[in-house]
Chain A
Amino acid sequence: MRLSNPWYGFLLNLPGLVIVLLWVLFPAFLLVCWSFLRHDNINPVTFAGLGNYVALFEHRLFWLSFGKVAVFCVGTTALTLFGGMALALSMVKITRGSWFFRSLMILPWAVPAVVSGIIWKWMFSPDFGVISDLLIKIGLISEPLSIYGNFDLAMVGVIVADSWTRIPFMAIILLAALLSVSPELYEAAKVDGAGSLSRFASITLPLIKGPAMVGLLITTMFSFRTIDIIIPLTAGGPGRATYVFGYYIWDQIIKTLNFGVAAAAGMFLFFMTSLIAAVFVYISKRET
């Protein structure tokens, strides 16, 4: 078969297509089907029409978790963007031994979210935690801080812990973008008398906007479905202070075994992440 033959390309892509079909499309198809079934592992499985969706939208925890995940998503994405940007801007200035610092920078990314959750839980522990101890020693607080036992602080603690694992990814994307900006542009701006802030606003930001949007899109979508870091940190608590949407789906599958409602929730998650992606794509296209 000639390389120019379109069937050749198809043949080469076939293994990948089969994998996508088996592991993505087929489960997605099952998810759609199950979302219309009464499948609670107690009663016989029957067609439920839109019953699962109605149950979902009437469930108090659904709306509660939706609100929580919105806060979590905005917080994590913002912190990741600012943290990643700060790190990338610092890295771009390092010329000697940059390989070492860049390797160091991506380490948190390599830590599994569950492990990261356990590490932060220990660091924030009011009894043995290094953070409370440090704050007491420098006189900022007089009593240990129970971050994950406090309704107002728990979400902040979870956002910090989750962002810690995501910042390196954002920093890598932004660093790559920063390195691709021609130094001549900065030199020309300097000659014209532009200060560092105006150089950042007029040159850096516009030129790294594209990659930054990709990083933002991925961070937003991933944080929208997060659960792995929340389980070891707070288990959704205290109360339901950190009960995000991913946790709600987890509960429907694992704790109530109501696969029908869980599938409907999964469909909602799919819809929301698609919507987020669409918004980002629209904004990116409009800018270009």
Chain B
Amino acid sequence: MKAKYLLFAVLLITIASAVGVAAGESTKPYEVIQWNSPKPIGERIGGSTYVLPDGWKEAVAGVKRIKVSNFGALKHDPATVQNAKKFEELTGINVQVLAWAEAPIVAKTVSIFAAKSPAVDVFCYDHPTTYTQMVAGGWLHPIDAIWNDPGAWELYAGPLKEGLKAPDGHIYGSIGQTKTMMLYYRPSIVPKPPETWVELRDMAKKATTPKVWGYVYSAGGEMDIIYPLRDMVYSQGGRIVDVERQRIVIDSPEGRNAWKMLAEMVLVDKSAPASVLEYSWMGVADLFGMGKAAMIMTHTVDANRYQDPKKAPGIQGDWAVTSPPKWDGTKPDSYHASYFDVDGYMINTFINDRQKAAAMLFVDFMRSYEASYRELIVEGNEAAVISVYDHPDASKIPVPKARQAAMKNAVLETFPPAGRMLTDVLMEYFANVIGGKMELMEGLEKCQQVLDDYAVPE
């Protein structure tokens, strides 16, 4: 009888322990963090000084370091370095920023994920072409909790919310800085900047001389042709991603106009060189800086280097900016639009739960007003938090108002999985047209066929 009681007691203790352990495990360390306390998220991260959420200390107990990948060398990213230091001061967690060259960054990221490795905690990423792909791979840790406040979204540009929402309804990404483009021109050649693409085409023809091209765009490297196509499609109110079908669509009325105008600038007007087929977006920006183009669309941050005589010797005292053109006079002013990109962060799902808590805390800090301030003022990048542009210090960076205006109408589209491969199809067929291998619209139609046939797994 005694043995029976003993057996019963052991069984009871075992069950109780198991339940206890299970209950303990059910609350993950990162779930202990109260993101909306001591203030709602929007106020906590939106003030001039970042405020840590309650419960953070308990959640990250024992975490000494997190590893974060970074686009390029750190000497070009002083704001990132300062933000990492500030985060360490606040939390005691060292941030090891991994300076990865830009070209192989996706390859490195994919390799680490494919190996299910916890080697890197937080990855930087280029949103439009990478996000859904990484989500589809099941490689990212969902971070809905840090976005759980309507006030948080109000800090950022409008398109961000839809852009970060993955097809499964969760949020896996956060924002660090943003990118968009504006029109750069040489007042000595183009005294009054064009308001529309139709005007721009005409002005480019007149501006072209043996030494200067009227308008130059990129159609050479990976992803490059997508920049000018997007600018022109958005300027007509169109979109290139069919979200329902998860396809890229270029054979639309807006796409046809854009395709035709870009090709005819080279083939008919001769206001753009045939060598657009070897230009990357960086090459185009260099060309303008050397004084070989009258007008280009390039990133807003390029304004920083164009004021430097060493980096842009050909245009000193002779460059200005304006909003991206809308298509023609019939279009509303909100169509003065280029693309909007999130240079953001995503968290590796293969790291342990305490590392995840620390990583979430880091991305929470990096999207804050304080971190955005450094991105804009220290480094001249576009700030994620829009109100930073209203800070008096914003006047220290080149053309702040034009940059803010460009951000206002910018369009964020998230590509379907294999987005980078699909943009290569555009590059291929556009080159076939410029290279005389196909007729103008034949190239577009064949391109669309390939895009439609592209096997996005069901």
Interface residues of A (CB under 8 A from B): 40-43, 114, 126-128, 144, 146-151, 231-232, 234-241, 250-251, 253-257, 259
Contact = CB atoms under 8 A, between A and B. Distances in A.
B1 to A, nearest CB: 53
B274 interface: yes
Interface of B: 103, 106-107, 110, 114, 133, 136-138, 220-222, 273-279, 286-287, 290, 292, 417-418, 420-421, 424, 427-429, 431-432, 434-435, 437, 456-458
A238 B278 contact: yes
Contacts of B133: 41, 257
A181 to B, nearest CB: 44
A126 B275 contact: yes
Contacts of A236: 424
Given A149-B277, A231-B103, A237 B428 contact: yes
B431 A237 contact: yes
A109 B136 CA distance: 41
B435 A239 contact: yes
CB-CB nearest 5 A-B residue pairs: A149-B278, A146-B275, A149-B277, A239-B431, A238-B277
Contacts of A126: 273, 275, 278
Contacts, number: 99
Nearest to B456: A42
Given A42-B417, A149-B220, A237 B427 contact: yes
A127 B314 CA distance: 13
A149 B276 contact: yes
Given A235-B221, A235-B222, A239-B431, A149 B275 contact: yes
30 contacts: A41-B133, A41-B417, A42-B136, A127-B287, A127-B292, A128-B286, A144-B275, A146-B274, A148-B278, A149-B276, A150-B277, A150-B435, A151-B431, A231-B103, A235-B220, A237-B277, A237-B427, A238-B220, A239-B429, A239-B432, A239-B435, A241-B431, A254-B106, A254-B107, A254-B110, A254-B420, A255-B424, A256-B418, A257-B417, A257-B418
A126 B276 CA distance: 10
A232 B275 contact: no
A126 B274 CA distance: 10
What does DSSP make chain B's interface, helix, strand, loop or mixed?
helix
Nearest to A256: B418
Q: Give the most central of A43, A114, A127, A236: most B CB within 10 Å.
A: A127
Contacts of A231: 103
Contacts of B287: 127
A147 B418 CA distance: 29
Nearest to A247: B424
Given A42-B417, A146-B274, 8 more contacts: A148-B277, A149-B278, A151-B435, A234-B278, A238-B277, A238-B431, A254-B420, A257-B136
B420 A255 contact: yes
Contacts of B106: 254
B435 A42 contact: no
Nearest to A145: B275
Contact of B428 (A127, A150, A239): A239
Contacts of A147: 278
B287 to A, nearest CB: 6
A238 B429 CA distance: 10
Q: Give the most central of A126, A150, A231, A257: most B CB within 10 Å.
A: A257
Nearest to A236: B424
Q: Give the most central of A41, A151, A234, A236: most B CB within 10 Å.
A: A41
Contacts of A43: 457-458
Nearest to B108: A254
B275 to A, nearest CB: 4
Nearest to A239: B431
Contacts of B274: 146, 149-150
Contacts of A237: 220, 277-278, 427-428, 431
A128 B437 contact: no
Contacts of B435: 150-151, 238-239
A98 to B, nearest CB: 38
Contacts of B437: 151, 239
Nearest to B435: A151
A42 B457 contact: yes
Nearest to A240: B428
Contacts of B220: 148-149, 234-235, 237-238
A146 B424 contact: no
B273 A146 contact: yes
B432 to A, nearest CB: 5
Nearest to A43: B457
